[in-house]
Structures are given as structure tokens and as C-alpha cells.
Structure 1
Amino acid sequence: MRPDILAMRCNVFVPLALFFNIFFFCACNNKDLDVYVESDKYSNAADFIGNNYNLTLLYAALKQADLLNLLKEEGPYTLFAPTNKAFNDLGIVRASDFSSMKRDSLRQLLLYHILPRRLYTSDVPPNTIDNKYVNMMEKELFIGYKTQKVCAECNLISDLYVNGSKSVSATQNIVLANGVLHVVDKVLKYNPTIQDVLNSKPEYSLFIALLKRMGDWERLGEPVNTTVFAPDNAAFEKAGITANDIARLDPGKYGKRLSRVYLLYNHFFLSDMAIYGQLPGSGYYGSPYYRARIVGDELYYFGISANTPMEPFIIHSQAPEANTPLRISNFQPDYQTDYKADNGVVHGINSLLVLPEEALIKESTKTN
């Protein structure tokens, strides 16, 4: 090779080698390297929401509640952000709808959606439920995470759930300058007790009357977990049962299943079923996802089908066809389920599971 060409190549190689050596040395020895150095390229929570067409109602709510400045601060925050449709489901269709709400109540509702920390899906144990994280209202949010690939050709399921609301993989882990955001499909709902949840909704007045008449109302104000599957007034009217009919009931003549079929003595979100999936078994009701004895009337079970659409049902354990439900219902729309209270959860259903004449106690089968 000609000496002049060799010299030219060496002159190029030496500076390049020196540059990479210096770069490597600095990268390996810079102990002050900030892992969040790129965060200045991200929007803060308030600006991100303001620039997202699918979150315009959330932005309006935050503005009305005077929370935008909070979400511009350093944080860190995790925000579970309801979509416009989630607000539409509650009858909120325009920004001006928030002006009729009490500011303090709206502020509390929105703070309920915010954690004072970063929480990515990778922080939540996969295929678990009831991971508890305290929000800015100092209340616990129940987080579940499902990750599953059911077949080689199937897409990976990666769903995050918070108090029963869902965030799919495409809307999770949105990095913000001051935290992380997950878009959810429902507005998170909260009341201190289940009694408060039911009392806040006029459509449950007949169900409340039944619970009071049968002696099961007081439990729903106590600090013990209960999950309630609440039939609305339309369900009673469809069965031809009026407030006067309920007032005339003699509790001593009826099995506990008349009211307790709607009460599970535990804590249960509908998303728990989605996370744990269908159990193996034969027959539509052969192996339901959930089956629990009715307290005080234990020959009967309340169950929820593992098959879509997850129908609630009542079943008798010793009937000739023990896997045949006596009656089934359906859940009310998603936005009328997963009402969280400190002592449990309320889910709306649209049919009665037991009629009074079906719960009459026969002399040979009386229960205590």
C-alpha cells in the first residue's frame, strides 16, 4: 500500500478510536448519570391529558376541580385516566356538565384516580388480584394484572385492572415527565359503605326494602366485607313484586336465600374472573368460576358462570340435576358494576334470582 494512503487512513482511525475511547470511558465512569435525563421530552400529566382528544372530559373535570396545577408538579404520580366514553356512560357528555357538580366532591372523585407514586404494569405481580395501593384520597385501590398467551398464534393478553376498570396494553404505561398514565374504561366509583352506595341510587329502593325486611341491611353498614349483586326496581316490577308486597313479608316463613342469594361474604370484582379465567369442567354450569353457599340456607348456592356472559345464578346442591340453575340473571352494563366501598363491592343485576314463593320454608326443611 502506498505510504501516503496508509498515513491518511491512520490519521482518520486514530481520532475515531480516541473519540470512542473517551465516550466509553465517560459512559462507564459517570456516576452522576440521571436515568430520567430524557424526561424533559415528555409532557407532564396535565399537558398530556389536555392534548389527548380521548381525554377531553377528564381535562375539563380536572380544570373544574382546580387540579391541573397539581398535575404539573414534580410528582411522581400514577393516573388512571377514564376515557370520554367512560364519562358518557355516566351521563356526562360535555365539559359544562361538570359545572353543576360540587367542586369538593368532584375533586375527591378525581384524586381517587391518582396514586402518589409511579406504578407500571411490571410492578404488579402477573395473574394476581387485590394488590393494594393507596391513592391520594388515602383509600386503597385494588389492582389486578392478567398476562396470558393462550396459543402460539394468539396475541399476548396484557390487561391491567383497577377496582374492576380495565386498561388494555395499548393504553398502559404512558410515560409522563412527572409519572405514568394508564387509560381505563370506567370512572372509578367509591362510597364509604355499601349502604351509602345503595342509598345513593333510587333504582335500588325495593332491594333495600327487602334487605331491611329480611334483617340483612345492617351488615352492609358494618366493617365486614360483602359483595352485593343488586337487582334494581325494574327487576322487582318484572316479577310483579311491589313495596307493599315486601312490607307484608314475614321473615320467619322464608329461607335466607330470599335475600342472601344476593350477598357474598367476601370482596369480589368482576375482573377477578377475567384474571383467573375459566375453570375446567363439563357443562355450562358444571364448573362455574364462582360458587358459594348461601349463608343460613346452605343447600343453595350462588354462582357465576365461567362462560361469557358470566351469568349470575342460583342452584340447589341436591336437586336431581344439581348443575341446572334454578334461575339466572344478567349483569347490568359495566358502568353499573364494581361500585367500591370500604366494606365491599356492589354489582347491578337485572333479574331476581328467587321469588318469595320459592323461598317459603317447608316444615321438614326449616333452617335456623
Structure 2
Amino acid sequence: MKHLNIVYIGLVSMLLCGASACKHDDITTRPVNLNYRPGADFIKNNYDLTIFSALIDKSGMKDELNGAGPYTFIAPNDKAFTEIGLTKDKVATISEDSAKHIVQYHVITRRLMTDDIPANGVDVRYATLYDDRQLYVSNGSYSPGQEIDPTKNRKEIYFNGSLAIKKDVTVLNGNLYVTDKVMKYTPGDMQAFLADKPELSILVAGFKKFGYWDKLKGLKPFTILAPTNAVFEKAGMTEAFVNAMNTNEYYGTRLFGVYLMQGNRYFVNDFSVFRTITGVNGITVLIDPSDTWSFSMYVQTNTYTGLPTTMYITIRTALQYPYEEVKNFSDGIPANYDFLTDNGILHKIETVIVLPSQAKR
């Protein structure tokens, strides 16, 4: 399953740009009687899409993306790229293939207007230029009991959990959305993804020790919450410590199973869509069908305040009262969210959820 920086120009530049040759397009939906630029040229001519434009140049795809199309461009703004450490200088150091894969996954192979996306649709799939691999689009439109009125629907559009902050921008060969996050997609299964991330090796060791590792190659979707090695080590859980653990002495479901939600793929901002559609924000489930402990998660999305989207997670000793609260914490680093693979999604977190002392048999 399944949320424009302003570049301040110097006085001299402002004076020079009085000429029409220095005019940059405004990212708005424009009347149909104006002349349009094709997609790659439009992106290149906008101050807040400079990193995406640099990726297009690096990928060698400019002519293709200025072609007939039609295309839908999912264009992360510069802030979205810098949040994950991808600056224009960094773009110059990556390979052409890497740039191409990023760009291709951000281009849908059809013109997709907001009115084409089903109201209250969740994880509607659309093919991209990246070998027809699909991305997921959700449209939070109206709440229970509200009249279905297309003129009043909220149309909160998310591409793989990235919020469209500008919608239905017309370009010559399609249309364009500006988003607040980069879609982070890696082909293959989650097991391969984790094996390639040395900073997550302690989580991998725990999954292997307690029998979860092989599940990460299956087709069943899942969501992983992933503390990094530094987070585990701060809590005294080194890789050597985990490898030496006696599995008979601990509830593996509580110690490492708590990081794996099986059966559902949740982008963080899916919870914003669920709140719009159902009026309910969050989930409460057993951490494992064989355990009595419960896992609750909800998300606060600050769409209009500009504050970061924050996850709130609570672990309790039972699904319903009476229970004891084991852990209650929040996590609000959007750059750590929504690492998508073909069979799951991963969100890095800054907290060890359950300590070994709390998972003792």
C-alpha cells in the first residue's frame, strides 16, 4: 500500500532581468492561450527546480523529455533534494545511469491531471519511464458524510507519499506537479536493499537472529521501521551483542519483530490520506499474531504550517485496556522516510523501540 524555495537575486541581476530574455516561468496553471515550453525546458527555466534540471542534464534525457510525450513530470523542489543531501554539486559526481533512474521514476508516461486521479483513491498505480515501473498516487478528497462535489474536494495529492504542492501545471508536452519530497525507489526486494546498507547492519543481524530475514524476500508487502547502527549502539546493542544473544531468553517479536509491520506498505503520509477519507488517523495492531503486545502509530502532517511531518508510535502490553505503556515516542525527520522497494518500504527512526531488558522471557 499505501505526502518553492525563493532564490534571492542580487540588485544587478534584478536590473538585468528587466529584459524579456531573462524572464523565468511562474509555476502556476496558465491559461490555454499562452505559448508553453516543453517539460525539460520549463523545468530548466524555474528557479526552484534547478537540481531536478541538473539531473535531467546529467541523465542525457533533455531531448526525450522535450519530445512529444505526453508526460507528467513529478518535480521535487530544490529543498526536497537538499534535505536528502543531493545538491547541484553532488549531481555532478553521480553517474549518468543514476541520474537517469531518478529522472525516469519521476516521469509518468501519460498526461495525468488531478481530475484523472480517483477521489479518495489510495495507491493508484501509474507507469513511469523507468522501465514501466509503477509509482503510487493517493488523492485525499473528502471525509465521511461529505457530499462528493468535485468543486469542493480537497485533492491532497501524494506521489509515493510526496505531497504535490503545485498541481496541474501545463507544459507543451504534458503537465507537471511540484512535490515537497524526492521519491526514493530502489528496484529489488527489501532483503537486498538492507544488505547494501552497512549503517543498518545491526537491524539485519537482529532480523537474522530471530527469524525475520527470509521474510524480506517474499511478495507480501511490509513496512520497516529502521534504527541505524548509531541508534542501536547508543542503547548498548552492538552487532556483537545481538549476534551473541540466546534466542530462548528473549521475545523476538518484541525485540526485533516490532520493527516489521507485515502485510501492509505504508508511506508516512498515507496516514494523512486515511484521516481525510475515514476521519481516523492511525492504526493499532498486534506487533505479531503470536504476541499480546500492541503497536499504535499515527502521523501529524503540518501541510500548511511548514513544520515537518511527524510519526507518533506507542507500544503497549495489550491491544485493549488494561495495559501498560512500554514506549511512547515521536520521530520527525522526513528525509528518513519512504525508502521504497518492490516488496516493501522502510523508514529510518532515531529510537530503539524495545530494549533487551524489556523483551526478556
Q: Structure 2 vs 1, CA of residues 328 and 202 (structure 1 numbering), >3 Å: closer, same or farther?
A: farther
| Structure of higher CA gyration radius | 1
Could you tell me which of 122, 141, 146 is aligned with 1:129? 122
Q: Structure 2 vs 1, CA of residues 307 and 78 (structure 1 numbering), >3 Å: closer, same or farther?
A: closer
Aligned to 2:243: 247
Q: Structure 2 vs 1, CA of residues 325 and 122 (structure 1 numbering), >3 Å: closer, same or farther?
A: farther
Distance in 2 (alpha carbons) for counterparts of 1:278 and 1:358: 36
Alpha-carbon displacement from aligned partner over 1:192-246 (angstroms, at most 9, x marks no partner): 2212332343321211111111111121122221110111123212312111210
Alpha-carbon displacement from aligned partner over 1:37-60 (angstroms, at most 9, x marks no partner): 958711110111011000011111
Q: Structure 2 vs 1, CA of residues 41 and 307 (structure 1 numbering), >3 Å: closer, same or farther?
A: closer
SS of the aligned residue for 1:43 comes to coil
Aligned to 2:356: 356
Distance in 1 (alpha carbons) for counterparts of 2:350 and 2:277: 25
Pair 1:58-2:47 in alignment: no
Aligned to 1:180: 175
Aligned to 1:161: 158
CA shift for structure 1 position 307 = 5.5
TM-score by length of 2: 0.80
Aligned residue pairs total 313
Q: Structure 2 vs 1, CA of residues 175 and 228 (structure 1 numbering), >3 Å: closer, same or farther?
A: same
Aligned pairs (5 A) from 1:145-160: 145-148=139-142, 157-160=154-157
Structure 2 counterpart of 1:262, one-letter code: Y
Distance in 2 (alpha carbons) for counterparts of 1:246 and 1:143: 39
Aligned to 2:273: 275
Q: Structure 2 vs 1, CA of residues 246 and 288 (structure 1 numbering), >3 Å: closer, same or farther?
A: farther
Aligned to 1:197: 193
Q: Structure 2 vs 1, CA of residues 187 and 349 (structure 1 numbering), >3 Å: closer, same or farther?
A: same
Q: Structure 2 vs 1, CA of residues 115 and 305 (structure 1 numbering), >3 Å: closer, same or farther?
A: closer
Aligned to 1:7: none
Distance in 2 (alpha carbons) for counterparts of 1:164 and 1:342: 15
| Cα RMSD after superposing both structures | 2.6
Aligned to 2:285: 292
Could you tell me which of 206, 215, 229 is aligned with 1:210? 206
Distance in 2 (alpha carbons) for counterparts of 1:114 and 1:39: 25
CA shift for structure 1 position 325 = 3.2
Q: Structure 2 vs 1, CA of residues 295 and 68 (structure 1 numbering), >3 Å: closer, same or farther?
A: same
Distance in 2 (alpha carbons) for counterparts of 1:106 and 1:93: 13
CA shift for structure 1 position 172 = 0.7
Structure 2 counterpart of 1:261, one-letter code: V
Could you tell me which of 26, 41, 66 is aligned with 1:47? 41
For structure 1, the 5+ residue unaligned runs are 1-36, 282-286, 362-368
Alpha-carbon displacement from aligned partner over 1:127-185 (angstroms, at most 9, x marks no partner): 2311111111221111001235999xxx97432101111112xx111011100100111
SS of the aligned residue for 2:51 comes to helix
Structure 2 counterpart of 1:246, one-letter code: V
Distance in 1 (alpha carbons) for counterparts of 2:337 and 2:348: 6
Distance in 1 (alpha carbons) for counterparts of 2:271 and 2:351: 21
Pair 1:316-2:310 in alignment: no
Pair 1:333-2:333 in alignment: yes
Structure 1 counterpart of 2:249, one-letter code: K
Distance in 1 (alpha carbons) for counterparts of 2:84 and 2:201: 20
Q: Is the 8 A contact 1:204 1:231 kept in 2?
A: yes
Aligned pairs (5 A) from 1:211-230: 211-230=207-226
Q: Is the 8 A contact 1:227 1:263 kept in 2?
A: yes
Structure 1 counterpart of 2:236, one-letter code: G
Alpha-carbon displacement from aligned partner over 1:96-133 (angstroms, at most 9, x marks no partner): 32222121122112101111101111111222311111
Pair 1:114-2:107 in alignment: yes
Alpha-carbon displacement from aligned partner over 1:281-333 (angstroms, at most 9, x marks no partner): 9xxxxx861112122543011210355743122112168643x5310233351
Q: Structure 2 vs 1, CA of residues 77 and 288 (structure 1 numbering), >3 Å: closer, same or farther?
A: closer
Q: Is the 8 A contact 1:206 1:243 kept in 2?
A: yes
Aligned to 2:20: none
Pair 1:143-2:137 in alignment: yes
Aligned to 2:232: 236
CA shift for structure 1 position 279 = 10
Q: Is the 8 A contact 2:293 2:315 kept in 1?
A: yes
